[in-house]
Amino acid sequence: MATAVYTRSQTAQKDVPLEVLHDSSRISLEGWQTPVSQQGSKIEDPLSSSPQELSRTRAIILTTTLTGITFVGSMSSGLLTVCLPGIAADLNLPDNLLLWPASVYSLANGCCLLLAGSLADFLGNKSINLVGCFLLSAFILACSLAQTGIELIVFRTFQGIATSMCLPTAFSILTDSMPTGKRRNLGFACLGLGQPFGFSIGLVLGGIFQDSTLGWRFGYYLCAGATFILTIVNFFKLPKDKPREPFSFSRLRTEIDWVGIFLSSACLGIISYVFSNITDHPSSIRKPENLALLCAAFAMVPAFWGWMQWREKSGRPALIPNSLWSNTSFTTICVMVLFSWAVLNGMETIMSLFFQEVQQLSAIQAALRFLPSVIIGVVINLGTGLLVHRLRANYLVLITSILSAGSPLLMAIIDPKWSWWYCVFWAMLLGPLSADAIFTVANLIIADSFSPKTQGLAGAVFNTVAQFGTSIGLTIFAIISASVTDGSSFQDKTSPGALMVGYRAVFWTCFGLLVAATAISAWGLRRVGKVGLKTE
């Protein structure tokens, strides 16, 4: 397979309504010209052959198994969130490492996504996905068998790496297997449903297991078994990869932008590590080692931009070409994903602590209060998949973002003594709206912004932004909560009143982020119309 080089048309408009992208008469994507090989000869236009329509049964099986892997992986994270106090006691996990089992997962996942996506484009999506699924089941099982806190942290790290092999390949497999239209839209919606739905179910089941004789380890046994079964199903049911040239180390070296992968992954990893490291003591950011790491990370940003510029101008494969960011829709949706996923996961974590530490509820009582979020998440994801091709995407994102902003606002003004029905119930209903709708819309926009030969990378870019938002969001919210609580007038900093002061500050921060995201979407997506239209 010749290395494809895409050249930017000088006359191409930066922002083109996405309906145009579904016009089969177009050869290029957002101004990308027909790909040419390194020898200068044209190769087959990747848009000239659309995926064949799968039967309904095969489409359902494919979507179910791919979503199932995402669901189970996120479910294990939900189990960890609600069972963390019990896990810390069982494994003697010290307070300064309390958040690390959750943080290292997002850290490892985010750092490896771009590499996994690039390898999937080179070696094949099915093989990378199956390896990731098998490793995911193995390391979830390893988490259930951990005997010390350090072992749990290590196994969660490898679980994050395994997940990074599953997420972008699932996106690419669906894109390869289904032509644009309602069926693919529903597939993307189900993938979007898998992560928040799995996390919420993990919270509910974790509370039940923790307060019963089963214990938290049973939840991990359950997740490991389900993942192993889905891996076997995927082995037989995933469609074969498209033919590729025989493997060679020369192609591996030249067709993957290794320097770009290193710069982007190292930058995100260092920032996530430093922020996680200062969660308990924000003042430790002044330590020389932390300052040095942050300076190195921020220096990589212009270095990455310059490297992408050089690669693109010299006609070599670039990890994320700089010209892609000139697409306002793509840039806006990435910012929206960053903010919405930070708020969604941060709100769920802080609300779990609010229920247990402020309202003094048991784990199972806290878990049951997340049920409205689970139900509305299912409805919104499936509804978006069914209707996204009928509605203007910018209106859909704008309305759901405005409604979601009401969730942290209600929690910011709540009195912990109020009935659950006054604020918490409505906050649970409104919270997932924005993130769940944006996930499906974002997948469709990103699929249109990348060429079919880089679909694995397209899924990796999206999931990298989401994971980075989750990781940084949780860390920033933890720092805000701890700093405000420490500065409060309460003598006992662990009392419900002192903790609530910190949590309230986090809720106000989440509200501000969603308001900013709403304003960004109103401007950045103003020219985006309907997405996910069926290609004739």
Residue 381 has pLDDT above 50, yes or no: yes
Query: Which residues, 6+ apart, have CB-to-CB distance to 196 below 8 Å?
Result: 74, 344, 377, 432, 435, 436
Structural domain including 136 reads 56-240+257-524
pLDDT in tens, 240-298: 877 777 777 787 888 888 998 899 888 888 887 887 777 666 677 788 888 899 899 99
What's the token pair of residue 457? 């990378």
Q: What percent of the chain has pLDDT over 70?
A: 84
Q: Determine the Cα–Cα distance for residues 192 and 437; give it in Å rounded to an integer.
A: 8
Q: Determine the Cα–Cα distance for residues 160 and 265; give it in Å rounded to an integer.
A: 14
Q: Name which residue leads in pLDDT, 124 or 381.
A: 124
pLDDT in tens, 411-430: 999 999 898 888 999 999 99
Query: Is 423 contained in some domain?
Result: yes
What's the token pair of residue 101? 């089992």
What CATH number is attached to the domain comprising 119? Answer: 1.20.1250.20
Query: Is 3 contained in some domain?
Result: no
Residue 228 has pLDDT above 90, yes or no: yes
- pLDDT, residue 28, reads 33
Instruction: Confirm if 323 and 8 have CB atoms less than 8 A apart.
Output: yes
Average pLDDT, the chain: 79
Q: Please state, in angstroms and as integers, the Cα–Cα distance from residue 21 to each residue in 3, 150, 385, following that order.
A: 24, 49, 19
- H helices within 354-454, ranges in order? 363-368, 371-387, 393-412, 424-430, 433-449
Query: Is 418 contained in some domain?
Result: yes
Q: Determine the Cα–Cα distance for residues 505 and 133; give it in Å rounded to an integer.
A: 39
Instruction: Confirm if 272 and 295 have CB atoms less than 8 A apart.
Output: no
Instruction: Please provide residue 217's backbone torsions phi and psi, each rounded to the nearest 5 degrees.
Output: -65, -30
| Predicted confidence band of residue 447 (pLDDT cuts 50, 70, 90) | low
Query: Is 43 contained in some domain?
Result: no
Q: Please state, in angstroms and as integers, the Cα–Cα distance from residue 232 to each residue in 225, 229, 467, following that order.
A: 11, 5, 27
- pLDDT, residue 489, reads 86
Query: Is 71 contained in some domain?
Result: yes
Q: Name which residue leads in pLDDT, 182 or 407.
A: 407
- pLDDT, residue 533, reads 58
Q: Please state, in angstroms and as integers, the Cα–Cα distance from residue 252 to each residue in 5, 122, 343, following that order.
A: 16, 8, 38
Q: Please state, in angstroms and as integers, the Cα–Cα distance from residue 245 to each residue in 4, 242, 248, 256, following that order.
A: 13, 10, 9, 14
Q: Out of 108-122, 146-160, 183-197, 249-263, which region has the weakest mean confidence (pLDDT)?
A: 183-197
Instruction: Confirm if 255 and 315 have CB atoms less than 8 A apart.
Output: no
- pLDDT, residue 459, reads 63
- pLDDT, residue 206, reads 84
Query: Is 166 contained in some domain?
Result: yes
Q: Please state, in angstroms and as integers, the Cα–Cα distance from residue 362 to each residue in 204, 207, 210, 309, 441, following that order.
A: 12, 8, 10, 54, 37
pLDDT in tens, 12-27: 334 444 443 333 333 2
What total of structural domains would you count in the chain?
A: 1
What's the token pair of residue 376? 């509305």
